[in-house]
Structure 1
């Protein structure tokens, strides 16, 4: 019998399809499905963005292979955006375009670490980060984050975990799954710890454009020697509502970009070209539209806070950007069971905490940005009347 890679065979199936499968048994009695599962924009792309995509896709020029590191125009436009946001000296040579942020993570990790090396991630973690490292044979060490610290990493625990064997520390802020926003001073301290240990800090900022006020999340890109320690990851998918076009970006030293290009050439050769060409025009043409969307996401977060405050025994433990980490009232019950019954009986699709690491059974992840305020309001009655069978 043919055998598979044991590192892949040991992984669970992709989590999102399994959650959608639960919803197939919902009878509609509580109203339309409320989808808080996968983080996707709950509003369409700007008409200009769709037009630019169509024009680029119809162009013969975009049908061939492009530069491995990304289209020169988009690299320059995104570098200008990053430089303005962070007040930093970032140029096109610091940018590598990828087919989404998940790909940005895997090609970065392949450039930084190999089988048997160690990468630190938080617990809870974004599951694709953990499975990526596992498939690559990279050892994963966990830094615990819990409600006592607002799901932020503890500096003491991080310092203890940053041993000489650790090649990289991977963080997500605003966090997936908790939504926790890492304060700038905490990131400064973490950067200093990584720099002192000779460890890469890989900072996934997929959801940074949805921070209230649109302020710079930190000043790390203006630190002396940042290029020897920091690599930033980003996704265009959420901000421009184009997740199906798979576009992300890496900000790093030119030396790191060159190493990542070696990996990219074997993984995909180049990111999708039509989307890159369209995004060059969208940056900064759609800045005002993106600011309006950011304000809308803040309204949705505020609406969820109001709703959850009215639901006995359910509580928000952390919230920010796209996600809220919700404590459910069923102690000692597997979170996957709770999430399954929510989908089947109440028509609420969310992700169980145990998808994101050990010890997370008390929690559910609500991707609240998927739904408008009027839909979020419907949660109140559904959660108030929800009863877990057999309890």
Structure 2
């Protein structure tokens, strides 16, 4: 009998890094790493100084804290989310977690048992699939349209007595697509109708192209009974190494999640929580500038696509940190991604890492994570891709 971890695949980002072993990159063609959606720069200096002060002068920061997070941080999240979404969110509806991945794991542990089901739109975020595998919860693939948007009526047909949730990521990882507010609301109503949860992972919310609230879910009557909102401070404030995320949902569900959180980490990282609190209170303008930079990189992706379209490439989705691209080559994306390291000095993740095994669409796509590549780097990336001379796939396979 397989163990829990043997039920799933190896971590994709770690697998991709192994492709770099033994490869030397020339000064003329240095590595362009578009494999991971995590900022590599540290937090802004002012935040680091504030965190250093906490480290030196706040003894409590070195002890166990509350399992569901610092009360001041929970209150700040409740207040700022209430203002941002035009709703009333109570601090008791907020839990702080050790990153957004743990927020998802805690949520699944609180709502599902072995043999239950959760609907995941494809392409899916691989860590969500991995956790469901390890929890022996079936990830039910929810196909998306050519625009990579899931359809509520397609989802309705997949709901069974074992379904416990529908899980959405918007802006999407891996596709970058921003789900329209009316679509997210339709999924909320579908979940509410069936008495299941709607998990909405908004890790990349701060880089949405739309000004204002991206949806009206927190304004719905009884939202706590259906919605589980997930968030990450890692992307907003470059706190990736400090592991700080959040869940917003009904307090009674958080009480169940607390059992998981207490067992796994006891409490979130204290220094990271103080940093997140300081960031929320002091870095609004700075974060606005980060958003504009990411939006400019998105524009650079779109403006450079003309270099590839004549060769048969298609931009399927673009937003937040990601571009999801259909390639024109005969080889499958998992092979292509490894060849790109050798031939073009590009490290990207193949569509096979985001789709069910042997899914035909998986072979045709690559994910480009551009959080750490500026506009000049994006132009160089597209120039290298345009120079590739591999055998093209039959026209029917490229559609």
Same fold (TM over 0.5): yes
Partner in structure 2 of residue 75 of structure 1: 74
Q: Per the alignment, in what secondary structure is the counterpart of residue 191 of structure 1? A: helix
**Separation in 2, partners of 1:390, 1:211:** 35
Give deviations 1:227-268, integer Å, cap 9, x for gaps: 110010000000101101110000011111111112111111
Matched, 1:99 2:104: no
Partner in structure 1 of residue 156 of structure 2: 159
Partner in structure 2 of residue 53 of structure 1: 51
**Separation in 1, partners of 2:153, 2:119:** 14
Matched, 1:225 2:222: yes
Q: 1:361 aligns with which of 343, 363, 367?
A: 363
Q: 2:30 aligns with which of 29, 32, 53?
A: 32
Partner in structure 1 of residue 314 of structure 2: 315
Contact 1:338–1:388 (CA under 8 A) maintained in structure 2: no
Give deviations 1:287-331, integer Å, cap 9, x for gaps: 000000000000001111112222232221111111110111114
Give, in angstroms, the shift of residue 42 of structure 1.
Answer: 5.2
**Separation in 1, partners of 2:323, 2:30:** 21
**Separation in 1, partners of 2:345, 2:2:** 37
Partner in structure 2 of residue 292 of structure 1: 289
Partner in structure 2 of residue 134 of structure 1: 133
Runs of 5+ consecutive residues of structure 2 not aligned to the other structure: 394-399
Q: 2:342 aligns with which of 324, 330, 344?
A: 344
Q: Per the alignment, in what secondary structure is the counterpart of residue 386 of structure 1? A: coil
Q: Per the alignment, in what secondary structure is the counterpart of residue 81 of structure 2? A: helix
Matched, 1:11 2:8: yes
Give deviations 1:338-384, integer Å, cap 9, x for gaps: 01111122111110000011321110000012211111111132112
Give, in angstroms, the shift of residue 26 of structure 1.
Answer: 3.7
Give, in angstroms, the shift of residue 7 of structure 1.
Answer: 3.4
Partner in structure 2 of residue 379 of structure 1: 381
* Misfit runs of 4+, over 4 Å: none
Give, in angstroms, the shift of residue 155 of structure 1.
Answer: 2.1
Corresponding pairs, count: 385
Partner in structure 1 of residue 327 of structure 2: 328
Give deviations 1:203-231, integer Å, cap 9, x for gaps: 10000100124421101011001011001
Give deviations 1:28-71, integer Å, cap 9, x for gaps: 24522111111012544211111122222333221110001100
Give, in angstroms, the shift of residue 141 of structure 1.
Answer: 1.2
Q: Please, what TM-score do these two structures have when normalized by structure 2?
A: 0.93
Runs of 5+ consecutive residues of structure 1 not aligned to the other structure: none
Q: 1:240 aligns with which of 237, 240, 257?
A: 237
Give deviations 1:98-132, integer Å, cap 9, x for gaps: 00000000011000101111111112111110110
Contact 1:120–1:166 (CA under 8 A) maintained in structure 2: yes
Matched ranges for 1:255-270 at <5 A = 255-270=252-267
Q: Please, what TM-score do these two structures have when normalized by structure 1?
A: 0.95
Matched, 1:189 2:186: yes
**Separation in 1, partners of 2:45, 2:210:** 25
**Separation in 2, partners of 1:350, 1:193:** 35
Contact 1:97–1:250 (CA under 8 A) maintained in structure 2: yes
Give deviations 1:266-301, integer Å, cap 9, x for gaps: 111100001111221221310000000000000001
Q: CA RMSD in A?
A: 1.7
